[in-house]
């Protein structure tokens, strides 16, 4: 099978409808803001999710107007990944491709960070001594998605304990890290989104009640929203562990598999007695502990499965087996994406399944995409904003747009975002609202709910 065959598979899977929920609530709105306005100070006051403004979406926004209107840059990343695989003849990576196809329809941050981390791992296991470049790339991956903190830690430990490089090689990576902190402070008010440490009390930081709501939501998502925050606060230490393992649906099984994977990796590290393998294990363990402490959602540790599989089977899978696994998994995935009712029937807990649109012949020459341009315009204080009509996400609503869920949170907190100056480029702050504005917001929400019932 040639490179052309695998490249054709990348294009085919990248042409399906986007279905990851963050595509509609986070990815597309973020790219719209960056491409139309730029990095906006305090934009988390308008919509807390926009405060992330990942480095990957900054990169994506540069192509969204002229060469990539369907936001399929991740497909290009997979094509580059393919070239790496064939150039290095590192066939184990072909096993990962079918899983990565699930992220190729959206500007998901998961795909580039997994691809780049696997490339870096491959280079480390081949004794690449260009640690300055690898450390800079690892910090760039961290800047795309901070849950990848294990990667710069891994490369740093590699250059200290194995290569024994001088610390001057970390200068480019450190510069990227500083830019990452500055970007977050500008958009969110704190150095790392959504962590609220190192509070310098900037005037554009989000309201404390909204940050508290965000923290509580992260805890509830740890338990797949199957428990309220009051119920979780009453858990004993044993309840926290037991209920996380026994979540209904597939997520509880993923959690169990995650812990078993870490145990298997520990046993493998003990048997292998390799300094590099131990460094990888320690790095992944540090990341896993942090995720378990803050918000143990499966999407935050999915990269661990790739890492452990790569380390254990790096030299065990031949090109023939890798290609056979690729074909088998790709056929199964093509079936699920083309006929999503199969997935909805057999895996009802997979919420994103309801957004799968199935195969359309037209996608062979134009990627499938959803459209929803129904909206209304309202004004509170000095902010005139657009409001999606009859839907939950504002992914195609002209900016400035606020998602209904955040407006409800604003109303509950008794605040609302305002322009910091006279234009969108000057950024946003929040202000307390009076009784008249509260009634106006409640009317907007009531009309929205009524409109949704009529759809």
Span 6-24, pLDDT tens digits: 999 999 999 998 888 888 8
Number of domains in the chain: 2
**Most confident range, picked from 102-116, 240-254, 399-413:** 102-116
Is residue 305 located within the same domain as residue 447?
no
Q: Is the pLDDT of residue 393 over 90?
A: no
Range of the domain at 21: 3-194+201-206+249-313
Contact of 192 with 185, CB cutoff 8 Å: no
Residues 151 and 31 in one domain: yes
Token representation of residue 228? 């309220």
**What is the phi-psi region of residue 399: left when phi exceeds 0, alpha when psi lies from -120 to 50, beta otherwise?**
beta
Per residue in 31-42, pLDDT (tens digit) is 999 999 999 999
Tell me: pLDDT of 64 over 90: no
Model pTM?
Answer: 0.91
Pair 162, 24 in one domain: yes
Residues 403 and 279 grouped into a single domain? no
Specify the residue for token string 């393919």: 82
Q: Could you tell me the CA-to-CA distances from 439 to 83, 206, 387, 401 in Å, in that order?
A: 58, 23, 17, 20
Between the alpha carbon of residue 188 and those of residues 146, 167, 218, 272, the distances in Å are 14, 31, 17, 44
402 in any annotated domain: yes
Greater confidence (91 vs 389) lies with: 91
Alpha-carbon gap, residue 290 to 32, rounded angstroms: 32
Residue with tokens 């992330």: 52
Segment 289-300 shows an average pLDDT of 85
pLDDT digits over 305-342, tens only? 999 999 999 888 889 999 999 999 999 998 888 887 76
Least confident range of 108-117, 163-172, 378-387, 418-427:
163-172
Q: Could you give the CA distance from residue 354 to residue 19 in angstroms, rounded to a whole number?
A: 8
Where do the H-state alpha helices sit in 126-236? 131-144, 150-161, 171-187, 208-222, 229-233
Same-domain pairing of 142 and 64: yes
User: What is the pLDDT averaged over residues 424-451?
Assistant: 89
Boundary of a domain, candidates 313, 346, 366: 313
pLDDT band at 129 (very low <50, low <70, confident <90, very high): confident
pLDDT of 353 higher than 60: no
Q: Which of 298, 313, 328 is the last residue of a domain?
A: 313
Peptide bond connecting 212 to the previous residue in cis, omega within 30 degrees of 0? no
User: Radius of gyration (Cα) for the chain, nearest Å?
Assistant: 23
Residue that finishes a domain, picked among 313, 330, 351: 313
The least confident of 158-167, 183-192, 358-367, 418-427 is 358-367
Q: Which long-range contacts (CB under 8 A, 24 or more apart) does 95-100 make?
A: 95/309, 95/317, 95/322, 95/325, 95/326, 95/329, 96/306, 96/309, 96/310, 97/6, 97/9, 97/10, 97/326, 97/330, 98/326, 98/329, 98/330, 98/332, 98/333, 99/306, 99/329
């Amino acid at each position: 099978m040639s490179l052309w065959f695998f490249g054709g598979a990348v294009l085919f899977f990248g042409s399906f409808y986007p279905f990851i929920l963050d595509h509609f609530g986070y990815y597309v709105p973020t790219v719209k803001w960056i491409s139309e306005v730029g990095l906006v100070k305090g934009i988390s006051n308008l919509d807390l999710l926009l405060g992330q403004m990942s480095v990957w979406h900054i990169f994506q926004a540069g192509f969204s107007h002229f060469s990539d209107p369907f936001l399929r840059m991740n497909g290009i990343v997979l094509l580059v990944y393919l070239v790496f695989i064939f150039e290095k003849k590192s066939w184990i990576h072909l096993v990962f491709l079918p899983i990565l196809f699930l992220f190729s329809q959206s500007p998901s941050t998961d795909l580039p960070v997994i691809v780049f981390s696997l490339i870096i791992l491959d280079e480390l296991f081949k004794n690449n001594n260009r640690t300055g470049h690898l450390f800079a790339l690892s910090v760039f991956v961290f800047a795309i998605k901070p849950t990848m903190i294990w990667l710069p830690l891994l490369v740093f430990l590699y250059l200290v304990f194995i290569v024994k490089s001088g610390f001057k090689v970390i200068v480019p990576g450190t510069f990227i890290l500083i830019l990452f902190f500055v970007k977050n402070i500008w958009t969110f008010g704190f150095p790392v989104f959504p962590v609220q440490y190192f509070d310098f009390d900037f005037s554009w930081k989000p309201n404390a009640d909204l940050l508290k709501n965000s923290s509580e939501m992260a805890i509830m998502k740890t338990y797949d929203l199957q428990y309220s925050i009051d119920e979780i606060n009453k858990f004993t230490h044993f309840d926290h562990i037991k209920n996380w393992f026994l979540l209904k649906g597939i997520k509880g099984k993923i959690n169990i598999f995650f812990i078993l994977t870490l145990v298997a990796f520990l046993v493998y590290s003990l048997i292998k007695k390799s300094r590099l393998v131990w460094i990888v294990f320690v790095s992944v363990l540090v990341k896993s502990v942090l995720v378990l402490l803050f918000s143990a959602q499966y999407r935050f540790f999915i990269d661990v499965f790739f890492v452990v599989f790569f380390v254990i089977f790096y030299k065990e899978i031949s090109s023939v087996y890798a290609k056979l696994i690729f074909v088998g998994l790709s056929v199964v995935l093509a079936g699920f994406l083309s006929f999503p009712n199969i997935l909805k029937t057999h895996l009802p807990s997979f919420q994103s399944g309801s957004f799968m649109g199935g195969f359309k012949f037209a996608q062979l020459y134009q990627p499938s995409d959803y459209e929803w341009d129904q909206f209304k315009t309202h004004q509170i204080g000095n902010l005139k904003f657009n409001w999606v009509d009859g839907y939950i996400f504002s992914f195609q609503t002209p900016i400035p747009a606020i998602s209904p869920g955040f407006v409800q949170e604003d109303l509950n907190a008794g605040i609302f975002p305002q322009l910091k100056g006279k234009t969108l480029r000057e950024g946003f702050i929040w202000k307390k609202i009076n009784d008249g504005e509260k009634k106006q917001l409640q009317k907007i929400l009531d009309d929205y709910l009524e409109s949704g019932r009529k759809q």
